[in-house]
Copies of this chain bind each other. A is one copy, B any other.
Amino acid sequence: MSDMKEKVLQALKENTQEYVSGEALSELMGVSRTAVWKYISELKKEGYVIESSPKKGYRIMPVYDMLNEYEIRWGLKTKIIGRDIRYFNEIDSTNNYAKKIAYEGCDEGTVVVADCQTAGRGRLGRAWDSAGGKGIWMSVVLKPSIAPENVQIITLAASVAVARAIAGTCGIRTGIKWPNDIVLDGKKVCGILTEMNSEMERVNFLVLGIGINVNHEEGDFPDEIKDRATSLKCYADSGREASKKEGHGSVFPRSQIIGRILLELEEMYSKINKGFTDEIIDEWRSYSATLGRKVKITGRDGEYEGTAKDVTRDGKLVVDCTDGITREVVSGEVSVRGLMGYV
On A, residues with C-beta under 8 Å from B are 99-100, 103, 123-124, 146-149, 151-152, 155, 179, 193-202, 204, 300, 330-333
Selected contact of A199 from candidates B100, B193, B330, CB within 8 Å:
B193
A333 CB, nearest partner CB in chain B, Å: 8
CB pair A196–B199 under 8 Å, yes or no, is yes
CB pair A124–B196 under 8 Å, yes or no, is no
CB contacts (< 8 Å) of A200 on chain B: these are 123, 151-152, 155, 179, 194, 331
CB pair B331–A147 under 8 Å, yes or no, is yes
CB pair B196–A148 under 8 Å, yes or no, is yes
A335 CB, nearest partner CB in chain B, Å: 14
A192 CB, nearest partner CB in chain B, Å: 9
CB pair A201–B103 under 8 Å, yes or no, is no
A-B contact pairs, 9 of them (CB 8 A): A123-B199, A123-B201, A147-B331, A193-B199, A195-B199, A195-B204, A196-B198, A200-B331, A202-B331
Known: A103-B103, A331-B147. A199 touches B194 (CB 8 A): yes
CB pair B199–A197 under 8 Å, yes or no, is no
CA distance A199 to B125 in the complex (A): 10
CA distance A330 to B152 in the complex (A): 16
Which residue of B is nearest A179, CB measured?
B200
CB pair A148–B331 under 8 Å, yes or no, is yes
Known: A99-B103, A103-B99, A196-B196. A201 touches B331 (CB 8 A): yes
CB contacts (< 8 Å) of A333 on chain B: these are 201
**Further contacts, 20 of them, CB under 8 A, given A147-B330, A195-B198:** A99-B197, A103-B103, A123-B201, A124-B201, A124-B202, A146-B300, A147-B300, A147-B331, A148-B196, A148-B331, A151-B200, A152-B200, A155-B200, A179-B200, A193-B199, A194-B199, A195-B199, A196-B196, A200-B331, A201-B332
